[in-house]
Amino acid sequence: MVEGKGEILEGKKDGLWEEYWDNGQLVYKGHYKDGKKDGLWEYFDEDGSLTLTEDYKEGELIGELIE
């Protein structure tokens, strides 16, 4: 896998972050706010199929849906 990429603000992850499988397919995408997961996170398998959706608020998991 290619390491996750996104923006760092004041030493903390912030905004959209993504990571990719070696074949170029997305592993996950989601947002950080002040270094904590925030909002919808989606996870994919190596063929690009959505496998898991999680919802976070200020770093706390508030919901999960396994596809």
pTM equals 0.86
Q: Which residue has the higher pLDDT, 51 or 65?
A: 51
Q: Which residue has the higher pLDDT, 58 or 5?
A: 58
Query: What is the three-class DSSP state of 22?
Result: coil
Kindly report, residue by residue over 7-49, the tens digit of the pLDDT: 999 999 999 999 999 999 999 999 999 999 999 999 999 999 9
CB 30 within 8 A of CB 41: yes
What is the spatial distance between Cα 33 and Cα 28, in angstroms, rounded to a whole number?
16
Q: How many residues does the chain have?
A: 67
What is the spatial distance between Cα 34 and Cα 19, in angstroms, rounded to a whole number?
19
Residue 3 has pLDDT above 70, yes or no: no
Structure tokens at 20: 């990719």
| Structure confidence at residue 67 (pLDDT) | 63
| Structure confidence at residue 4 (pLDDT) | 74
